[in-house]
Amino acid sequence: MSKIELLYEELGQALWLDYIDRNLVTRGGLEELVAEGLRGVTSNPTIFHQAITGGTDYDDAIRDLIQADPAMDAETLYQWLVIRDVQEAADILRPIYDVSGGADGFVSLEVSPHLAYDADGTIAAARHLWQAVDRPNLMIKVPATVPGLPAVETLLGQGINVNVTLLFSLARYEAVADVFRRGVAASPRPGRLASVASFFVSRIDTKVDAVLDEMGGAQARALRGRIGMATAKVVYRRFRDTLAGEAGEGLARLGARPQRPLWASTGTKDPAYGDVRYVEGLMGTHTVTTVPPATLDAFLDHGEPRPSLETAVGRALQDLEILGELGVDLAAITQQLEQEGVKKFAASHDAVLAALDGKRLGAAADYVAGRWAKAQDFLGSQR
């Protein structure tokens, strides 16, 4: 049994890959990971920017699309490329989806980050992607901004799977959990609906550690690298309490599954920390962890599956209390992280469109040149 399978079978946590590209889905890499126990794939604009601009894997597809429609703009081209990757990944993961009864086997695709503060625009874009991909094991990623919350509720109510992303605080998680329950209650098929609440862990430590370093002192140094996982453990405790309470019973009556916490941003940013720190520190039942390729490799090499989410919760609460006593405004930091997350994804989205525009113009010029050359050959043959 692989470590990924052990994580799921003995600890109840699904491991997803936080990466997708054309090479992975067409050359057997994703099938190999699924055979080892991988249960899903997540993506974001930064990942697609890296994938599309990092080599020549997409050049043939770009050329074919431009030949079919020389007037195609960069945004449409981007959607065609991304949708194709997501469809192929979803097809590879479909057996996991079927065997699990719709609990796993998902691929996540994000609406444009420029819609993060536009509920109506998010709903329209999500519907478009849902229909275009046309796979039951798709999850639409929607940022957990205040305007994003009603969009999440509406989409769930319409039977669309949602990955609620860019979560950084307990308060926002509770708001997401509330809209999830309302959305599920309005869904025509609550038993087939799936959702995760994606909590970004290492980014919290990166931001808080910088504040602690400026403060100095023994107490501040002792909290370095602890606040991200401390917050995640508090979120998980609230999830478990809710699952065992009236809200969980309400979901059970509807035949609906719970909205699992998903631990994202699990790659270690600080070289002083171990490379599997956030994977090993956040293992527990009814959860998902999504990992970038380098972190997956590290986990497979020397990671150790062990229950950890429900250990040292008292210490986590104490860490958060001491942070407040030191005068660190965690709520302000998490709000800043949300804003920065939206801006970062928007910048990646714009960067990939700019790169595609260059490739699009080049492909269009080649196409026109080729047509002109053929025309000249034809005219020459008529002389």
**Residue 43 backbone class (left: φ over 0; alpha: ψ -120 to 50; beta: rest):** beta
Structure tokens of 8? Answer: 């799921």
Residues in the chain, total: 383
Give dist(CA 376, CA 15) in Å, integer.
57
Give dist(CA 275, CA 302) in Å, integer.
10
Q: First vs last Cα of the chain: how many Å apart? A: 72
CA distance to 137, 144, 179, 282, per residue, from 130 (Å): 10, 19, 20, 31
Helices (H), the chain: 3-11, 22-26, 29-35, 45-53, 59-68, 74-99, 119-133, 148-157, 170-186, 202-215, 218-223, 227-244, 246-254, 277-280, 293-302, 313-325, 330-382
Q: Is 136 exposed, middle or buried (0-12, 13-18, 19+ CB in 10 A)?
A: middle
CB of 78 within 8 A of CB of 84? no
CA distance to 108, 257, 267, per residue, from 37 (Å): 18, 21, 20
Secondary structure class of 118 (helix, strand, coil): coil
DSSP line for 179-194: HHHHHHHH-S-GGG--
Tell me which residue has tokens 């992280």.
Answer: 337
Secondary structure class of 39 (helix, strand, coil): coil
Degrees to nearest 5, angle at CA 121 with 172 and 146: 15
- Kindly name the residue from 141, 207, 233, 359 that is annotated as catalytic: 141
Is 374 noted as a catalytic residue in this protein?
A: no
Residue positions annotated with a catalytic role: 141
